[in-house]
Amino acid sequence: MFDYLVRRLLVMIPTLVAISIITFIIIQLPPGDYLSTLIAEMESQGENVDLAKIAALRAQYGLDQPMWQQYLLWAGGLLRGDFGYSFEYQLPVADVVGDRVLLTCVLNFGTILFIYLVSFPIGIYSATHQYSWGDYGLTLVGFIGLATPNFLLALVLLYFANVWFGTSIGGLMDPSYIDQPWTWGKVVSVLEHLWVPVVVIGTSGTAAMIRRLRANLLDELQKQYVITARAKGLPPLRALLKYPLRMALNPFIADIGNMLPQVVSGSAVVAMVLSLPTTGPMLIGALQSQDMYLAGSFLMFLAVLTVVGMLLSDMALAWLDPRIRLGGGTAR
């Protein structure tokens, strides 16, 4: 077990190095850099550009060096915990991202919780009452949820909240709390605002999860061991929860690896529509303006989360499923 863990952790190192190189190359692929974008923007607004100042800035940030030197500079900084400097915000990356990461995590953990809480009972109901009116009805709702684009739902909610309640539900807190230190009132305000993006982002996820859970569970319900469990005299609900549901869970645990980075990057489009102070819109902005350290560090962070998430889900699967833990050589 310990050997396995060490080996997995060692394998992560070359993986992350490779990802960091690819990330950096992709960020640098568009012609120019942050400063040339800045110049173009200033010129289009009719401002004069002080070429000497630009050259000084370029030297200061190391943008005049060859690409591999820039990469080493950045990667070396990452190793020391220095995520670089954001040109656009004129702040260290860590400070720019700070609060937003926390809010994004809160928002997306809320969303995942919402998805699980809603979809599990519905999925189980749909599977155990296959082809009933309830199943058809919930399936229809699910498909509508799946087919509606998130941002559209966000716009619709924004509109009706304004028309019916006369309130603006954009953002994640009351405007008066923005950039204020955390207080109890601010927490309450966040919670009050949270439900709208949670519902908006969670709808399609819930619908997809219901469909998958229903399909998985339907497969499992036909297996012989379910009949065995009932033949023992187990009450139906306990038989359902202990055997087929447990078996149907594997794909969801395997999904944790994908979910962790999503929790942080969030759903950028909805965040823009609802003007949420999360990290999604910021990443898009950074990529547009070629704010390369901000974008690169952010992407690296997501990569680390993906790799760690995969490790976690593998460990969880092995812990939950003895066939994975003990399998392999014991197959007759």
Partner 1 sequence: MTERVTPLLRVNDLRVGFDLPEGRLVAVDGVSFQVRRGATVALVGESGSGKSVVSQAIMGLLPRPARVLGGSILFADPNKPGTITDIVRLAPDGRAMRELRGGRISIIFQEPMTSLSPLHTVGDQITEALRLHRSVSAAEARELTRDMLRLVGFPDPDRALRTYPFELSGGLRQRAMISMALVCRPALLIADEPTTALDVTIQAQILKLMRDLQSELHMAVLMITHDLGVVANMAEEVVVMYRGRVMESGDVEDIFRRPEHPYLRALMAAVPRFDMGPGERLRPLREIKAETGHLMAGAEDRRPAAPQDRPILSVQGVSKTYTIRKAGMFGKQARTMMALDDVSFEVRRGECLGLVGESGCGKTTLSKVIMRAIGPDAGRVSFADDDGEIDVLGLQGEALTAFRRKLQFVFQDPFGSLNPRMTVFDIIAEPLAIHGIGNEAWRREMVSELMKLVGLDARHLRRYPHSFSGGQRQRIGIARALALRPSMLICDEPVSALDVSIQAQVLNLLKDLKAQLGLTYLFISHNLAVVDYIADRIAVMCAGRLVELAPREELFRNPVHPYTRALLAAVPDPSLDHPLDFARIMDERASHPADWPAPFTIDESHSPTFVDLGGEHFVRADPHILTLRLAS
Considering the rule CB under 8 A, would residue 1 count as an interface residue with partner 1?
Answer: yes
For residue 214, the minimal CB distance to partner 1 (Å) is 16
Q: Are 120 and 213 contacting, i.e. CB atoms less than 8 angstroms apart?
A: yes
Of the residues 60, 228, 275, 288, which one makes contact with partner 1 according to CB under 8 A = 228
Among 103-111, 139-147, 231-239, 252-260, which window interacts with partner 1 (CB under 8 A)? 231-239
For residue 233, the minimal CB distance to partner 1 (Å) is 4
Instruction: Please identify, using beta-carbon distances, which residue of 229 and 274 lies nearer to partner 1.
Output: 229
**Which amino acid is located at 131 in the chain?**
Y
Pure H helices in 249-291: 250-254, 256-265, 268-273, 279-288
Considering the rule CB under 8 A, would residue 166 count as an interface residue with partner 1?
Answer: no
For residue 136, the minimal CB distance to partner 1 (Å) is 15
Q: Which two tokens stand for residue 283?
A: 């990443």
- What is the C-alpha separation between 161 and 163, in angstroms, rounded? 6
Neighbours of 40 (CB within 10 A): 12
Q: Are 303 and 16 contacting, i.e. CB atoms less than 8 angstroms apart?
A: yes
For residue 304, the minimal CB distance to partner 1 (Å) is 23
- How many residues sit in the footprint of partner 1 (CB under 8 A)? 33
Considering the rule CB under 8 A, would residue 232 count as an interface residue with partner 1?
Answer: yes
Of the residues 31, 46, 66, 233, which one makes contact with partner 1 according to CB under 8 A = 233
Among 109-117, 188-196, 222-230, 256-264, which window interacts with partner 1 (CB under 8 A)? 222-230
Task: List, in order, residues 6 or more apart from 23 with CB less than 8 Å away.
Answer: 296, 299, 300, 303
Q: Nearest-CA neighbor of 292 among 20, 104, 55? A: 20
**Which amino acid is located at 261 in the chain?**
P
Binding mask 239-268 for partner 1 (x = CB under 8 A): ---xx--xx---------------------
Among 16-24, 117-125, 255-263, 316-324, which window interacts with partner 1 (CB under 8 A)? 316-324
- Please name the helix (run of DSSP H) or strand (run of DSSP E) that holds residue 300, with its range, or none: helix 292-320
Considering the rule CB under 8 A, would residue 6 count as an interface residue with partner 1?
Answer: no
Residues 104 to 123 in contact with partner 1, rule: CB under 8 A = none
Considering the rule CB under 8 A, would residue 53 count as an interface residue with partner 1?
Answer: no
For residue 249, the minimal CB distance to partner 1 (Å) is 10
- What is the C-alpha separation between 140 and 142, in angstroms, rounded? 5
Considering the rule CB under 8 A, would residue 331 count as an interface residue with partner 1?
Answer: yes
Return left, alpha or beta for 30; rule: phi > 0 is left, psi -120 to 50 is alpha, else beta.
Answer: beta
